[in-house]
Amino acid sequence: MVKIPSLEGEELRSFDPVPAGSYRVSVDRAEERMSSNNNAGLMWLFKISQVISLRQMNDDPEQFINRTIVHGTALTESSLWNIYRTLIALGDDPDTVKAGELDLDLDEYVGRECVIDVSIQEYPPDSGTYTNRVNNLRALSPEEQGVLA
């Protein structure tokens, strides 16, 4: 038997998508995962710290601060570009990343920041379930590095 403490005050949390737009985020967690296709990959949980822009008008963009966006990077030959752009956006040196096989300590990425551009997609297709898709990632500009630091 498992003893669970009181759940009073707890609320349901969901991964409802945030509006399409650009967000400043930090890595909240990164871990190895197997995809539904049985491919090795990395799952990144990004926490929003700033709303940079939204594609549609919103009266309260601050409501999206601290929301989580999931980003998956498959470790298949045809998807290595995605892990490359993610590592560069998170501050890794491009020459070092391209120098050969990498042995990443994913805990070292927690707290690193970047800017992501997301859209909303139905996934799986025709399921009626919507999620965010990370379309682009970039490193913070020197000006952005000084803001919110």
- Where residue 101 sits, what CATH number does that domain have? 2.40.50
Residue from 66, 69, 72 nearest 31 by CA:
72
Q: How many domains does the chain have?
A: 1
- Domain ranges, residue 111: 21-146
In a domain, 1, yes or no: no
Cβ-based burial of 114 (10 A; exposed 0-12, middle 13-18, buried ≥19): buried
- 3 in a structural domain: no
Q: Evaluate whether residue 13 is within a structural domain.
A: no
Q: Judge whether 106 lies within some domain.
A: yes
Question: pTM score, two decimals?
Answer: 0.85
Supply the pLDDT for residue 14. Answer: 60
Q: Would you say residue 76 lies in a domain? A: yes
Average model confidence (pLDDT) for the chain? 90
Is 65 a member of any domain?
yes
In a domain, 97, yes or no: yes
Write out pLDDT tens, residues 72-121. 999 999 999 999 999 999 999 999 999 888 899 999 999 999 999 999 99
Which residue from 55, 51, 34, 52 is spatially nearest to 43, judged by alpha carbons?
Answer: 34
